[in-house]
Structures are given as C-alpha cells and as structure tokens.
Chain A
C-alpha cells in the first residue's frame, strides 16, 4: 500500500527532480516555486518558528511533518500572511511575499486550507464555491447594483463550480447549507473551494484530520489529482501512511527548525527524525555507572521518607 504502482508522468517528473538531491535541510531544488529564508516567529520567549532556508519544488507534492508543537501550522500562517513573521523573507514565483496581507497572497496563487475546517455554514455549498472565484465584477459595490453587469460572469463561475463539485462528488449537495455537511465532506468542500481560486500552490493544513477512513482514499486521490493538473501541493500531516502514499518529498520540522529533508521512503529511518519524534537517547543502553547513581538516588529518597515518618 506504500508504493505507487501506476506512477504517472507528472509523478515521474517530480521524482526525477528529487532523485539526486542530498538529504540535508534547506537543500536547493532544481525549480523552486517557494523559497523561504530565515523566517523567525517568536511568541514572547518561545521561538515557534526559526526556519533558515527551505525550497519547495514546483509540480511536486511536498509533505511537512513533525511532532506536535513543531511549528508547522505557525510556519503555514507566516507564509500565507495570516500571521506576521518577526523577521525573514520568502519569495513565491520569485516575488517577495513577506508582509503581504493574506488576501493578496491568495490572489497571487498561493491558497491554503485550515486544520479546523472553515466551511461557511449558513451559505449553500454552491455559494461557498462561487466565493472562491477571483476578479468577480459583481463584488464591486456599484456593479453589484446592476445585475446585468455580472450575470454572465456568474454563470461561468457556476459552471466551473459545478464541474468541481461533480469531481468532488458534492454536486447532490449544492443547494444544502455547508453547515449540514459531515466533517469529511467539509474537507472536500474546502479543497474544492480553494481550487476555485485557480491556485498554483495549494497548501493543505492536515487535510485528513477528522476524516472518516472511507473518505480518506477519495481525498488522497484528489490531492494526487492536483499535481496531475500542474499544481504544486504542500501539506501538513500526521498520518505517516498518507505521507508515504502521496508525497514526493518530505520536510521534517522540530522545535521550529527544519531538521531533515528526504524522500518519503527513507525519511522515517533518518537518525535526526527518529530523535525528534522519540527523543535523542530513547534507545541508548544504560551504562553500569548510570545504574549505580540511579540506585543511590532511589535509596536516598527512601531513607529520607522513612526518617520523615519516624519523626512524626
């Protein structure tokens, strides 16, 4: 279940790009769409993100993994303008993006989804989809008052939304309120809605969180499909099966830093990654002297306790 049996042209191209890369954090990629340099975000005394250098290869599916609290979501927030980095810079398609507000990041073609799904509950599924379309004439206050000026565009948007909803098997729900969908369907809707923006880079924050296993396969298929359509995908995920199944390259974060990069097949056997997940000394045997000191400490503690008891 781990290896792709029917690898496609795009997948082959993505894998070829990664073939001879060294497994070092911040390794340069042949054709990066996103280049991040020295991004730091502190919350008081805590440095949540301190990424020295990282590049995302165009046309690939890159996974961002790491233990809880590694700063993955915070890093996402910096890149997409939802939070302000304390320092650092990053470029998307060569265009500097630091300090750019979230809505302009999305317009530039870098669209994200959220860990906790943000379906617009009291809008219908179709209205959710239409909202994603860019440069809508009817979103201007004065043109909105003249329905004739935006009807034609609205029809085109609706047609595109119907195509996407059919692909994501949500077309039967198009007139239902988004709030009435199940958790998995909301994830699908959020992904479909992000595609309405026509993004170049899709950033998925835990696309599988809370999704019923029956829907997982379909969601995985949709993520792979994004690459087939020429988009670049960067996603945060905890489910290692999924990471192995669909990603072409894996970036590992721990305590705010990028600590390792590599292909999904070997990344989990990387020393640094195991250390980050399980602790540096998890498998080191105890030496004779360690045992001695531990024994003495335990004895001393016991004696102190007994003494306390007798004094009472």
Chain B
C-alpha cells in the first residue's frame, strides 16, 4: 500500500478548497442554527445564488469579475429577505420547510431547460474565473513543502483560491467572535432560548432574526464563490440539499455556537472522508480487501463516515469544542 500518497492527500484535505468552501458555508449555518436557533435548511441555495450570480454576470452578461461578486452578494441578501419576511414571524419549523423548498426550487430553476440560455441547464456555467486568477500573485508552478517523506504541494491556481479562502475564513471568524461577544450576539442567543422572553424585554425579535439570516446567508454565499472559482464552473446539482446536511454535520461535529466549531468541523469531516476513501481504495487495489470493488468504495466511505458521526453524537454530543454543561441543561 502507498501510505505516502494516503497521508499526503489526507493532510492536504485538511486545508484544501473543499474544506475552505464548506467551512465558510458552515460558519453561516452556525450563525443561523448555533447562535440564533434558526433552522435554515437552504444554505446550499445561498451558495448557489452566489456562484450563479458570479457565473452568469461574467459569462452571459460579459461584465467584469467584481460586478459578478457584487451581484452574488446582492442575490444572497435578496434571498434571505425573500425567505425571511414570510416565515420569521412564524414558528421555527416553518422556516425549515420554506428554506428546504426554496433551495430545491432554486436548484431546479438553475438546471431547467427553459432557462438553459441563462444558467446553462444541468451542465452549468464555466469560464468566469479568469478575472479572479488574473489577480493572483503566484506565478505558474507547484507550491508547498516536504513534511519528511510526505510531499504537500498545490498548483498555483489552487493555492490562490486557498489563500483568499482562508483569509475570508479568518475574517468571518473574527466578525463572529466580535459579534457574539457583544450585546448584539447576546440578543441572538436569547432568541435561541426563548423568543417571547426577548420580546417582553423590548427587543424586536423579527429584526434580529432577519439580521442573522442575512449575515449567515452572506457568509454562506462566500462559500459559493470559492466553489465556483476553485472548480472553474458552477453546476446545479452541487447545490442540492445534501450539501446543506453536510454543513449541519460539520457544525455539530465542531460544536454549535462556537466560533471555530464549523471550521474545525469542516476540516475533520474532509480529513475523515479522504482518509477512509484513500485507505479503502488502496486496500482494494492491492488485494487486501477482496469483498469490495473499487467502484463500491465511494459508497462505503459515506457509510463509515455516517457511522463515525453517530458514535460521536452518542459519546460527545456537544461536538469537539462544545460545553457539556449546556447539553445537560438542554436535557431538562
């Protein structure tokens, strides 16, 4: 077995572009679900409108890259307002239903034949990331270092996406840290505990929930940009509901309502996924495992990851960074 490759890809997965884009979207979910108690099951839609906002602006309208980013951000804010206005006055479960439905509607519009001229149908859009890569300070080549015998190298274009992505993660974590230490964050956490109590103390619950939805949606849409720029394309089926559920997994894995929880959650999630996949694929390839074929490994890794997460929730329900005392209070 080629352990060097397995370890190399696993280590790279901890900081690679997938981790970056999921971490960003998970920071958004953490604001919604972890701090405010909003069950937003449509985070993939925020990523989708951002990715497509950028792609369509650049490829179809022929406008510059920065306009595309602006259009994506505006689309995320608009989506938050559209989903929030009818549902945030109602009970929490309504938001969950509306967001999951809205996300599916948006995905189906992106892949519909009727709008193929705009969104490109199920093939999506490509060729919009030149403007971004033109800004890259890294000349062509491979960048990285050898960790003992293990090579950790990234191509120049990927490194540029990673640098920008991790800078955004640092920025977002800083913002979340400042906000959640402040009286503004206190109101959000209080809304998570009991909306009526917050109302009785003279705070406009609707306004704070809307601010939370917009903020988390905008941070989630940054993940959509990173996806589009890293892949060089946007495809509708990437923004399906399972993406949102992976995000929830990461938030709970890292510890909900913790600043670094979603980031570490995303890292652990991808490391596990890549490690299991590569180990299994190598073991099958070199004949150690005979009851699986290489084609089944992809499915088996999801089964094993699922199993691992179930065990984690049983033995450490508060996640990696969580506070056990909070879980004890919840159980009352």
B-binding residues in A (CB < 8 A): 80-82, 101-104, 106-107, 111-114, 118-123, 127-128, 130-132, 134, 136-141, 143-145, 147, 150, 154, 177, 179-180, 193-194, 196-197
**Which residues of A are found within 8 Å of B329, using beta-carbon distances?**
121-122, 177, 179-180
Whether B200 pairs with A102 at a CB distance below 8 angstroms is yes
CB distance from B198 to the nearest CB of A (A): 7
In the assembled complex, 7 residue pairs joining A and B whose CB atoms fall closer than 8 Å, in A order, are A106-B202, A111-B200, A114-B200, A128-B190, A130-B186, A144-B179, A145-B179
Q: Which residue of B lies closest to A135 (CB)?
A: B202
Report the bound CA distance from A137 to B202 in whole Å: 14
Which of B217-250 touch A at CB < 8 Å?
none
Report the bound CA distance from A122 to B198 in whole Å: 14
User: Counting CB contacts under 8 A, is B289 at the interface?
Assistant: no
Contact with A along B180-193 (1 / 0, CB 8 A): 01111111011011
Closest 4 CB pairs of A and B: A138-B183, A179-B329, A144-B184, A144-B182
**Which residues of B are found within 8 Å of A112, using beta-carbon distances?**
200
User: Counting CB contacts under 8 A, is B194 at the interface?
Assistant: yes
Q: Which of A128, A134, A179 contacts B202 (CB 8 A)?
A: A134
Stretch from B4-12, B110-118, B203-211, B271-279 at the A interface:
B203-211
Q: How many A-B residue pairs have CB under 8 A?
A: 115
Q: Which of B184, B200, B201, B204 contacts A141 (CB 8 A)?
A: B184
Query: Most chain-A Cβ atoms within 10 A of its Cβ — which of B183, B187, B194, B329?
Result: B183
CB distance from B31 to the nearest CB of A (A): 12
User: Counting CB contacts under 8 A, is B332 at the interface?
Assistant: yes
**Which residues of A are found within 8 Å of B184, using beta-carbon distances?**
138-141, 143-144
Known contacts A112-B200, A123-B193, A177 near B326 by CB under 8 Å: yes
Whether A118 pairs with B196 at a CB distance below 8 angstroms is yes
Q: Which residue of B lies closest to A138 (CB)?
A: B183
Report the bound CA distance from A128 to B184 in whole Å: 13
User: Counting CB contacts under 8 A, is B178 at the interface?
Assistant: yes
Report the bound CA distance from A80 to B200 in whole Å: 8
Whether B200 pairs with A131 at a CB distance below 8 angstroms is no
CB distance from B321 to the nearest CB of A (A): 15
CB distance from B189 to the nearest CB of A (A): 6
User: Counting CB contacts under 8 A, is B91 at the interface?
Assistant: no
Whether B201 pairs with A154 at a CB distance below 8 angstroms is no
Report the bound CA distance from A63 to B263 in whole Å: 54
User: Counting CB contacts under 8 A, is B163 at the interface?
Assistant: no
User: Counting CB contacts under 8 A, is B197 at the interface?
Assistant: yes
Known contacts A103-B204, A139-B203, A147-B181, A131 near B332 by CB under 8 Å: no
CB distance from B37 to the nearest CB of A (A): 10
Whether A131 pairs with B190 at a CB distance below 8 angstroms is yes
Which of B73-113 touch A at CB < 8 Å?
none
CB distance from B88 to the nearest CB of A (A): 13
Whether A82 pairs with B187 at a CB distance below 8 angstroms is no
Contact with A along B108-136 (1 / 0, CB 8 A): 00000000000000000000000000000
User: Counting CB contacts under 8 A, is B170 at the interface?
Assistant: no
Known contacts A139-B187, A144-B184, A193 near B201 by CB under 8 Å: yes
Whether B178 pairs with A147 at a CB distance below 8 angstroms is yes
Whether A145 pairs with B183 at a CB distance below 8 angstroms is no
**Which residues of A are found within 8 Å of B197, using beta-carbon distances?**
114, 118-120
**Which residues of B are found within 8 Å of A144, using beta-carbon distances?**
178-179, 182-185
CB distance from A110 to the nearest CB of B (A): 10
Q: Which residue of B lies closest to A117 (CB)?
A: B197
Q: Which residue of B lies closest to A122 (CB)?
A: B326
Whether A106 pairs with B200 at a CB distance below 8 angstroms is yes
CB distance from B33 to the nearest CB of A (A): 14
Known contacts A118-B196, A131-B190, A141-B211, A106 near B182 by CB under 8 Å: no
Report the bound CA distance from A82 to B181 in whole Å: 29
Given A82-B199, A103-B205, A136-B183, 13 other A-B contacts at CB below 8 A? A101-B199, A102-B200, A103-B199, A103-B204, A104-B202, A106-B200, A106-B202, A111-B202, A145-B175, A145-B178, A145-B182, A147-B178, A196-B201
Whether A103 pairs with B326 at a CB distance below 8 angstroms is no
Q: Which residue of B lies closest to A146 (CB)?
A: B178
CB distance from B168 to the nearest CB of A (A): 16
Report the bound CA distance from A146 to B229 in whole Å: 32
Report the bound CA distance from A132 to B202 in whole Å: 8
Whether A123 pairs with B189 at a CB distance below 8 angstroms is yes
CB distance from B9 to the nearest CB of A (A): 38
**Which residues of A are found within 8 Å of B330, using beta-carbon distances?**
121-122
Whether B186 pairs with A127 at a CB distance below 8 angstroms is yes
Q: Which residue of B lies closest to A111 (CB)?
A: B200
**Which residues of B are found within 8 Å of A136, using beta-carbon distances?**
183
Whether B325 pairs with A131 at a CB distance below 8 angstroms is no
Report the bound CA distance from A128 to B190 in whole Å: 8
Report the bound CA distance from A103 to B191 in whole Å: 13
Q: Which residue of A lies closest to B184 (CB)?
A: A144
CB distance from A292 to the nearest CB of B (A): 56
